Every structure is written in C-alpha cells, then in structure tokens.
Amino acid sequence: MKPAPFAYHRPATLDEALALLAEHGGEAKPLAGGQSLIPAMNFRLARPAVLVDLNRVAELGYVRAGRDGLQIGAMTRQRAVERSDAVRSAAPLLAEAMPFIAHPQIRNRGTVGGSLAHADPAAELPAVMLALEARFRARGPQGERWIPAGEFFTGILETALGPDELLLEVVVPKSPARTGYAFAELARRRGDYALVGVAARVTLDRRGRCQAARITLFSVGDGPVLAAAAAAMLDGQEPSPEAMRAAADAAAQRDIDPPSDIHASAAYRRRLAAVLTRRALARAVERAAQASQ
C-alpha cells in the first residue's frame, strides 16, 4: 500500500509554488500537512501526477493579532494554533475547538489551511471559521482575492478555490463586545471524526437579550451548515432555557438534513444536533453574560 508515482516539487517561496501550480494546472495538488492527502494517496484514492509541497514556504506559517482581527497563515500547524495565546484571547471558540481535531500526532503536522481547503464535511475547522465569519485570502494567476467563509465551502471536499489558486491566510474578525461562544461535538472515541458537532457564538445586547447568534453544525451535510432558522428564533429574545431549547430543536429539524451512514442514522444525528446545540447555546450565553459584566 503505497502512493502511486508522482513528480515532487518543494518550492521555498509562495511565488515558486504558485508558478508550479499554474504550470501543471489541474494535474498538481498542493501538499500541506498531508494528514488527509497522504492517507488518500496511500489507499490510491488520490493519484495526483504532481505534488507541490508547501512545507518549506515559511512565509505561510504565522499567527498574528492584527488590527482587522486574528491572522493565521495557511501553513500554520494546528498544534501551533492550539497553543497560541493570541488565538486564546482573540478567538476563544477556535482555541476551544482545536483539541477536538484528530489526535496530537496529527495536529503536529496538520495545518489550518490544509484542513479548510480539504473541506471535509466532518471537520471542525470549516464550521468554526463559518461561525466566526472568517475571511479567506487566496492567490492565483489572476491575482489575490478574499472569500468569505460563507462562500468558501461549496460541497463535499469542494471549495471555491481554483486548481491553480492557493489559500494563503484566514482572518478571524474581532468579536463584538458581550459575546460568548461554545464548541461541542460527539465522537465515539476521542479523536475520531464527530458524529455531529456544533460551534456557537452569541452576542447579547445591553439588556441581556440576544442581539446576534451564529450557530454552525458539521458532520450533518455536504459541508458546514449555518443554522439560520435557529439563529433567527433567538434574535431579540431573552435567552431563556425555553428559547434556547426551541432554537436547538429548529436547528435539528429545519436547518439540517443529515445523512444516514454506518456511523449514525439521520434520526440519531438530528437528536444529537438538538442536544449539542442546546448545550452549546447555554454555554455561549453564559459566557456572553460574563463578558457583559
């Protein structure tokens, strides 16, 4: 069980990497942390003719607290994000989600950009970035562009990136005041892909009512799902246990259309979605209230 042969390039700069992708068009695949691509190649589910290894492109590995928000270079290792004080203070939802991504051995290699560009519907990072309204900076032969998280994920393992485009950076905007967050998932064993997961961000107004809620679920469809109906039910409401339960039920019944597979039935996933969303909302509201004091 070995990868099929491929031509290997390891550019040292972003410009070189982009030139290689442009030269080889759809034949080439960028290699980030390799924690999804290499297993797929080991099983020969993926047989790229050309690999462009980004691991020497040092300019893509950083975490910075900037004026517009938290900037994370696409090649930043997940473990570095997990351990970053800047992430903990600027994007606590992201910090809370990081330990749920696979195992430490995988996070030591896996990158933020790699996970986002891979767009596994069961992955944590896409849902977290969607909940946080992150913006993705990509560059290709046509130049650079910004893609909002809401437009980035287009299907199972599909993104808005072109074959000769690279994801360079993710920017997580600053959260408004009086904002709380929570992340929750259920997996059969620690480190497994979640059966269902949820990321929630709640902002309260000065009177303690819900000013804005943003809830995303994953492992319930073709990509991260924004639970718009659930969020709308909370808008302007007192975040009472009843209101949160009703919103969580709406998320499970109206916002998602989960699949049945060998891991869980659709009905079980809906049930989990309701329970996890309710718990996540309760914790997010509690934290938002603490942040309001």
Partner 1 sequence: MDQQVPIGVTVNGVRHERAVEPRLLLSDFLRHELGLTGTHVGCEHGVCGACTVLLDGDAVRSCLILAVQADGHELVTVEGLAPPGGGDELHPLQAAFREAHGLQCGFCTPGFLMTLVPFLREHPHPSEPEIREALSGHLCRCTGYQGIVAAVRLAAGSAP
Minimum CB separation of residue 176 from partner 1 in Å reads 34
Work out whether 233 is an interface residue with partner 1 (CB under 8 A): no
Examine residue 29 and tell whether it contacts partner 1 (CB under 8 A).
no
Element (H, E) at 243: helix 241-250
For residue 148, count other CB atoms closer than 10 A to its CB. Answer: 13
Q: Which of 95, 98, 101, 102 binds partner 1 (CB under 8 A)?
A: 102
For residue 35, how many C-alpha atoms fall within 13 Å in the half-sphere facing its CB? 24
Alpha-carbon 47 to chain mean position: 25
Q: Is 213 in the site for partner 1 (CB under 8 A)?
A: no
Reduce the DSSP state of residue 99 to 3 states and report it.
helix
- Cα 88-93-94 angle, rounded to 5 deg: 70
Nearer to partner 1, 186 or 243 (CB): 186
Q: Is 287 a binder of partner 1 (CB under 8 A)?
A: no
Taking CB under 8 A as the rule, does residue 206 contact partner 1? Answer: no
With contact defined as beta carbons under 8 Å apart, do 256 and 219 qualify? no
| Whole-angstrom distance, CA of residue 45 vs CA of residue 137 | 29
Nearest distance, CB of residue 64 and partner 1, angstroms: 22
Q: Judged by CB, which is closer to partner 1: 3, or 140?
A: 3
Shortest gap between Cβ of 7 and partner 1 (angstroms)?
6
- Is there binding between residue 271 and partner 1 (CB under 8 A)? no
The Cα–Cα gap between 274 and 196 comes to 10
**Residue in 104, 141, 176, 236 binding partner 1, rule: CB under 8 A:** 104
Task: Find the shortest distance in angstroms from Cβ 49 to partner 1.
Answer: 9
Euclidean distance between CA atoms 160 and 23, whole angstroms:
20
CB of 96 to partner 1, least distance (A): 15
Q: Are residues 83 and 43 in contact, defined by beta-carbon separation less than 8 angstroms?
A: no
Q: Reduce the DSSP state of residue 197 to 3 states and report it.
A: strand
Host H or E run for residue 130: helix 124-131
Check residue 20 for interaction with partner 1 (CB under 8 A).
Answer: no
Q: Is 190 in the site for partner 1 (CB under 8 A)?
A: yes
Residues 54/30, Cβ–Cβ less than 8 Å: yes
* Residue 186 in the binding site for partner 1 (CB under 8 A): no
Choose, by CB under 8 A, the member of 79, 118, 270, 283 that binds partner 1.
79
Residues linked to residue 166 through DSSP beta bridges, in sequence order = 139
Please choose, out of 6-14, 57-65, 260-268, 277-285, the segment that lies near partner 1 by the rule CB under 8 A.
6-14
Specify the DSSP class assigned to residue 43. Answer: T
Binders of partner 1 among residues 33 to 52 (CB under 8 A) are: 34-35, 38-39, 41-43, 51
Q: What is the contact surface with partner 1 in residues (CB under 8 A)?
A: 1-8, 10, 34-35, 38-39, 41-43, 51, 53, 55, 79, 102-106, 108-109, 189-191
